[in-house]
Amino acid sequence: MNRPVQRPTRPPRARGRGAPAPATEPPATSGDEGDPLRDPSLYFNRELSQLDFNFRVLAQAMDESVPLLERLRYLCISCTNLDEFFEIRAATVRHAQDFGTVPTPPDGMAPTTVLRRIHERAAELVDAQYDCWNRVLCPALAEAGVRVLGRGQWNARQTRWLRAYFRKEILPVLSPLGLDPAHPFPKILNKSLNVVVVLKGRDAFGRAGHLAIVRAPRSLPRIIQLPEKASGGEYDFVFLSAVLSEFVHELFPGMQVKGAYQFRVTRNSEVFVDEDEVENLALALRDELAQRGYLRAMRLEIAADCPRPIVRTLLQNFDLPENAVYRIDGPVNLNRVIQVYDLVQRPELKFPPFQPRMPKGTEAIFDLVSDGDLLLHHPYDSFAPVLELIKQAAEDPNVLAIKQTLYRTGRDSPIVEHLVQAARNGKDVTVVVELRARFDEEANLGLADRLQEAGVQVVYGVVGYKTHAKMLLVVRREGRKLRRYVHLGTGNYHSGTARLYTDIGLVTADPDIGNDVHMIFQQLSGLAPAISLSRVLQSPFTLHAGILARIEREAGHARNGRPGRIIAKMNALNEPQVMRALYAASQAGVSIDLIVRGACSLRPGVPGISDNIRVRSIVGRFLEHHRVYWFGNDGQPELYCASADWLERNLLRRVETCFPILDPELAARVREEVLDNCLADTLNAWELHADGVYRKVLPSDDAPPHSAQSALLAKICA
């Protein structure tokens, strides 16, 4: 471990470390230094703020009111998130440090400083994760009859079974590599499990042993369940890394194993394709994906007892600095214990299941939507109406065309089957597939091939701009007229995440929205000029300016003695102009509540600057994912839902949609279920303070115990 950590007596406090650098390291400044709202001290660093989100996730693993296996899941989520953070966010900072390709952020922090603080803060997180596992969850699971056994805990019968398992199932697929002049250090795949072995003696060829590397193929299960008859427990598990370390000597007969130390390296996983220089994006992306697993190393995890000379050897081979090594008191692949969650059939240790609401009338969805807009609040409302819309469109002889964007859908998505069937039924089907959806690139390439083979027109979007918008358009002949039916959403067209993420979906036949969405599809698939939309705001053209205009409108109301009010919910916030506009609105007297799940670069509660701004984060059973913006507008409120966060990339470098909820009753429902509900949460909310610390919101006399997600679950189960 990096440093001793005492067992927490309460959930670990999620602290922000985005304050400006100390006086000995003056932060760089950018822009107009005469503008007080550009002062770097007013902003938190986006990467450090994103890293801190995982402390709030880890706090759920420490919360005894959460079912035990769900606590295990939260621990694993925090570990997986940290992997992705190093693969993408830290790798981006490293690239900026080496090549200076990123403009100075609002916080003014240099990439070298950011990277150093990332390693410092990540070390604290890793210590807290393993402290949670070793001292809290592993013992609690064992007490509940779910045992994850370390090497020192195996009895003779378990050891015999594991040795036989090693010889039969593991040994045949291992290829140890001794390191010598004829065998240089091998390529190590991103996040793969490896063991470095210290050897003494000579092999059959007379070669002196020193070091060897044993790589665990991805085909091997990382968690092994022992049969009850061989172990005595129904749910007894062992990490593959423990089995490898225990029996690795069998790979080197005649030699003495002096030590075996598991390790794992995390690499840059950001795929880069110079789209201006390629003729075929799909082919270029396939080539890049083949190299993804072997890009630049960002972090080394290694067993805590590994000797210092071996650590230096590994750091040298991976070209990593000293602060990029993480000594681990436990399995280096801790996130793999998530398999236990699926293998253990103990309902009392998990959240109780629920059945999402199914709106009435969806068996004839075109008739239903003709009578009025349909609002879906996932996961409380079923995702089935969206699938029904596509299915019925594919089968309806009056439907002429279907157009859809696909960002993340899942490998076996029923949506794809419906689109394929629509094309076979003679519909004109166009699908905008975003090949660059991070970590779904390979799946989306296969999806695009499948659709093209069925006769679907597949478009890869616009060069230089990821298509992140969630849109579905159905053109249907009704009598002598053509009518457009539209689905717009804040989340992906993915049946799995629709049960885990909170999102808003709107199905409407509003002519103006239908025409707007039609023009956006025309723009994506063709070479259309700039378009003028009547209802929908669109990145990268009108959404950024539209948000700024509405914030300024609220500020204008406040300056003129009228109430100014903004409530906005999103996943992250870092766009400089939007943050400065919020500061100016706060100074004018606008009351602003921001519900930001993850990274937030805005510093609330600064006297005279942001003392009218409050920022909170909700972490609960579901991933808070919807983006909802509400503007008071002097008694004529406007409510928008969007696919975009208030990030630079979403507002300026992606294709996004932001759509109004025009029906007053539906707008009031979104305001109540999403915004007011989250603001009333006193059980799963964290409030960001001016010092950068997230503090858990606690019930009080004025704010009784309330969980936003539990309240909605209770509503649908009533």
CB 603 within 8 A of CB 665: no
Question: What's the rounded Cα separation, in Å, for the pair 311 and 324?
Answer: 11
Q: Please say if 689 is a catalytic residue.
A: no
Tokens of 76: 């694993």
Question: What's the rounded Cα separation, in Å, for the pair 624 and 597?
Answer: 7
Select which of 377, 468, 544, 626 is catalytic: 468
First to last CA, the chain: 48
Longest dimension (CA), the chain: 90
Closest to 50 measured CA to CA, from 137, 125, 100, 102: 125
Using DSSP's 3-state secondary structure scheme, residue 233 falls into: coil
Q: Look at the alpha carbons of 98, 102, 108, 114 in this order and tell me if their dihedral is positive or negative.
A: negative
DSSP 561-622: TS--EEEEEES-B--HHHHHHHHHHHHHT-EEEEEESS-B-B----TTTTTTEEEEEE-SSS
What are the φ/ψ torsions at residue 210 (nearest 5 degrees)?
Answer: -140, -75
Tokens of 297: 């190393």
Residues shown for the chain: 718
Please calculate the CA angle 571-575-576 and round it to the nearest 5 degrees.
Answer: 145
Return the amino acid letter for 48.
Answer: L
Question: What's the rounded Cα separation, in Å, for the pair 659 and 639?
Answer: 9
Q: At what angle do helices 576-588 and 543-559 cross, to 10 degrees?
A: 10
What are the φ/ψ torsions at residue 630 (nearest 5 degrees)?
Answer: -125, 130
Closest to 403 measured CA to CA, from 518, 282, 534: 518
- Tell me the catalytic residues: 468
